[in-house]
């Protein structure tokens, strides 16, 4: 083993990040993580609480005051706000926060904040810019403008209507009627559609009468899909948008409204801010277990987690699998969501992640229990049933392909293919008919990946971005995830795989790091993902070496745990997760050790 210029070997570096990751477990034996605090979430929560205060149903003056102060303290120098404390300003979040200051702050204390944010909004296009940012997808543009109209800073005629009556049709027809919002935004469609109709009506008498008749039935749908803790998708923004809209309709006494308010109050952080979502516990636990898969270092065959720890993690993951049809998306049993909380929804990224974690928690000479075999089989069938006609895999629902966050995507497709392949290789008793189905649908998934590779060899992901990149895209994340999957499945010599590897090599920064593309600021997460994908690829030896040296330098500087906002939440809402840099660095450095590249 050679050593870096800082005299820390790769083995030592791998052990450092491994220990950091293992120590980040909660007392029960799995990982909770911590999502970034959000100016957008804080603004929407404060607005909902302010409307509740005006309706005299929830006195949260101190929460409102602290939230406003947090927002004032985190305004960017250009006068705007980004989604996280590390994010560039954007028009959407800036308009939401500005509306809160103009509606709930009061007095002259924040006049400078309001003035500078007004200037930012004016310079960046205001309402027209919000509409243009999201295009035909009204999932986020309609809530943002509704928030601003409720604050009295724009006219209701500037808010586009939403056909909330569509929520009353049977769920199986949702994909046929071309909803103007994505599949997970049904609560927003109902509540925001109603408050817009409440304030501006509709010019067409037929539509007007249909919507009047749909008010009570759609509210029953809203109540039926609300989780027991009140938080839709465990997301403060979505829950707050629903809450403020119902309050704007005068529905303060509605059970849904009260539950939303309870969730908002229970979700606030000590500093007065709110996160994007409660947590990504299932997702970060799966990622962590998969990062720790294999031996501890180049010099040891010791398991990272002992038998008892692996059994606790295994049982916990199994307990998170959905055993009943989901009341929200009507997804069949068998999938996993991103969280262990009631607001989660099973999806096509967390399910293969959980499958891989269960498979990795057993060594190659261990037998799987009947419960594990049954759970993995159900998950495989669930994923096969989710595949779209184009051969790719979407996030939540099959067939919802017209809006961006419902379409098939390369990163999810690669993740599914990786999990299905590993499952077939580890479970010997898969029925022949199911085995053939996996092979057939995997072949279609592979064709999807080949078709959606860019001309320069990259793949674009759905749920991750880079704020320095044009259009906020992150080809580094997408390409690295697809390459890892294709190489593991055995397609390392495929032309698409080789083009992807070449793209990674060509887009390394001169200092050894990686970002969304060459020339952009490098991050722990992106550098680690590229190293993991390139490790074991002979032409990439020097790139892996320089990238690993860069990571070791971050460890030595005490910066290895510093996150970057590379995650997209719903509707391209930025977030960062405290565990991502540690998880990805662990996976990368352990992969380098196992491939004996140093």
Q: What is the mean pLDDT of residues 123-147?
A: 89
Element (H, E) at 38: strand 37-38
Interacting residues of 516 by C-beta distance below 8 A, sequence separation 6+: 465, 466, 468, 469, 473, 474, 475, 476, 477, 526
- 239 CB-near residues (< 8 Å, 6+ apart): 230, 231, 232, 233, 260, 263, 264
pLDDT of the residue at 574:
93
- Reading the block at residue 551, the tokens are 């990571």
* Alpha helices per DSSP H over 25-177: 39-54, 61-73, 91-100, 111-123, 126-134, 138-150
pLDDT band of residue 403 (cuts 50, 70, 90) is low
CATH for the 38-275 domain, from 1.10.760.10, 1.20.1440.130, 2.60.40.10, 1.50.10.20:
1.50.10.20
| Rg of the chain on CA atoms, in Å | 24
In angstroms, the CA 392 to CA 377 distance is 20
Backbone angles phi, psi at 577, to 5 degrees: -120, 130
In terms of Cα–Cα distance, which of 281, 204, 192, 255 is closest to 57? Answer: 255
- What pLDDT is stored for residue 561 in this prediction? 96
* Alpha-carbon span 476 to 589, nearest angstrom: 18
Residues forming CATH 1.50.10.20 domain(s) in the chain: 10-35+278-594, 38-275
The pTM of this model reads 0.93
Between 157-161, 280-284, 292-296, the lowest mean confidence (pLDDT) is in 292-296
pLDDT tens track for 446-471:
999 999 999 999 999 999 999 999 88
Cα separation, 131 vs 136, whole angstroms: 8
Cα–Cα–Cα angle for 204, 210, 215, rounded to 5 degrees: 125
Span 68-124, pLDDT tens digits: 999 999 999 999 999 999 999 999 999 999 999 999 877 678 999 999 999 999 999
CATH topology of domain 10-35+278-594: Glycosyltransferase (1.50.10)
Q: pLDDT above 90 covers what percent of the chain?
A: 80
pLDDT at residue 2, as a whole number: 43
Query: Taking Cα atoms as reference points, which of 342, 340, 360, 361 lies closest to residue 350?
Result: 340
Q: What is the reported pLDDT for 571?
A: 66
What does pLDDT average to over the chain? 92
CA 33, 38, 43: angle at the middle one, nearest 5?
A: 145
Tell me the pLDDT band of 175, cut-offs 50, 70 and 90.
Answer: low
pLDDT in tens, 220-257: 999 999 999 999 999 999 999 999 999 999 999 999 99
Average pLDDT over residues 135-157: 90
CA 453 to chain centre: 22
Query: Which pLDDT score, from 0 to 100, does residue 471 have?
Result: 86
DSSP string, 354-413: HHHHHHHTS-TTPPPPHHHHHHHHHHHHHHHHH--TTS-B-SS-TT--SSGGGS-BHHHH
Per-residue confidence band for 186, with pLDDT thresholds at 50, 70 and 90: confident
Cβ atoms 146, 192 nearer than 8 A: yes
Q: What is the band of 180 on the pLDDT scale with cuts at 50, 70, 90?
A: low
- Give, rounded to a whole angstrom, the gap between the first and last alpha carbons of the chain: 5
Please give the distance of CA 408 from its chain centroid, rounded to a whole number. Answer: 15
- Is the distance from CB of 195 to CB of 246 less than 8 angstroms? yes
């Amino acid at each position: 083993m050679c050593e870096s210029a800082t005299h820390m070997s790769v083995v030592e570096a791998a052990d450092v990040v491994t220990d950091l990751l293992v120590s980040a477990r909660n007392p029960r034996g799995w990982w909770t993580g911590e999502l970034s605090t959000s100016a957008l979430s804080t603004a929407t929560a404060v607005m909902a609480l302010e409307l509740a205060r005006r309706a005299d149903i929830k006195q949260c003056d101190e929460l409102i005051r602290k939230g406003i102060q947090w927002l004032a303290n985190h305004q960017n120098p250009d006068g705007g706000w980004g989604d996280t404390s590390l994010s560039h300003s954007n028009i959407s979040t800036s308009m939401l926060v500005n509306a809160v200051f103009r509606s709930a702050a009061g007095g002259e204390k924040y006049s400078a904040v309001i003035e500078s944010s007004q200037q930012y909004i004016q310079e960046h296009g205001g309402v027209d810019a919000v509409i243009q940012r999201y295009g035909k997808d009204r999932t986020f543009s309609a809530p943002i403008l509704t928030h601003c109209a409720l604050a009295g800073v724009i006219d209701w005629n500037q808010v586009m209507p939403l056909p909330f009556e569509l929520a009353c049709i049977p769920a199986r027809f949702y994909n046929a009627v071309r909803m103007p919002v994505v599949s997970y935004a049904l609560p927003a469609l109902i509540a925001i559609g109603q408050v817009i109709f409440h304030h501006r009506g509709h010019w067409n008498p037929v539509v007007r009468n249909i919507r009047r008749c749909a008010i009570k039935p759609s509210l029953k749908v809203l109540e039926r899909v609300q989780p027991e803790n009140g938080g839709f998708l465990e997301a403060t923004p979505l829950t707050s948008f629903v809450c403020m809209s119902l309050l704007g309709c005068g529905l303060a006494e509605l059970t849904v409204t009260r539950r939303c308010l309870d969730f908002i109050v229970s979700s606030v952080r000590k500093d007065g801010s709110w996160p994007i979502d409660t947590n990504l516990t299932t997702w970060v636990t799966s990622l962590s277990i998969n990062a720790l898969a294999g031996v501890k270092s180049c010099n040891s065959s010791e398991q990272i987690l002992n038998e008892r720890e692996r059994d606790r993690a295994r049982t916990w993951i199994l307990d998170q699998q959905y055993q009943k049809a989901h009341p929200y998306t009507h997804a069949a049993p068998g999938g996993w969501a991103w969280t262990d909380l009631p607001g989660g929804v099973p999806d096509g990224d967390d399910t293969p992640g959980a499958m891989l974690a269960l498979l990795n928690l057993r060594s190659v000479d261990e037998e799987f229990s009947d419960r594990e075999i049954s759970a993995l089989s159900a998950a495989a069938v669930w994923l096969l049933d989710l595949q779209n006609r184009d051969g790719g895999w979407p996030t939540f629902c099959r067939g919802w392909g017209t809006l961006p966050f419902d379409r098939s995507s390369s990163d999810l497709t690669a993740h599914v293919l990786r999990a299905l392949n590993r499952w077939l290789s580890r479970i010997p008793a898969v029925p022949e008919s199911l085995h053939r189905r996996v092979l057939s649908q995997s072949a279609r998934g592979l064709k999807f990946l080949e078709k959606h590779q860019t001309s320069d060899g990259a793949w674009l992901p759905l749920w991750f971005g880079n704020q320095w990149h044009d259009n906020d895209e992150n080809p580094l994340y997408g390409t690295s995830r697809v390459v890892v999957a294709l190489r593991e499945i055995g397609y390392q010599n495929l032309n698409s795989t080789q083009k992807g590897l070449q793209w990674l090599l060509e887009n390394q920064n001169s200092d050894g790091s990686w970002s969304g593309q060459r020339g952009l600021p490098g991050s722990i997460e992106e550098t680690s993902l590229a190293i993991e994908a390139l490790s074991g690829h002979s032409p990439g030896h020097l790139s892996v070496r320089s990238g690993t040296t860069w990571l070791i330098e971050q460890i030595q500087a005490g910066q290895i745990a510093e996150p970057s906002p590379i995650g997209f939440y719903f509707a391209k809402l930025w977030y960062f997760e405290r565990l991502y840099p540690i998880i990805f660095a662990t996976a990368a450095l352990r992969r380098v050790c196992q491939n004996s590249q140093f």
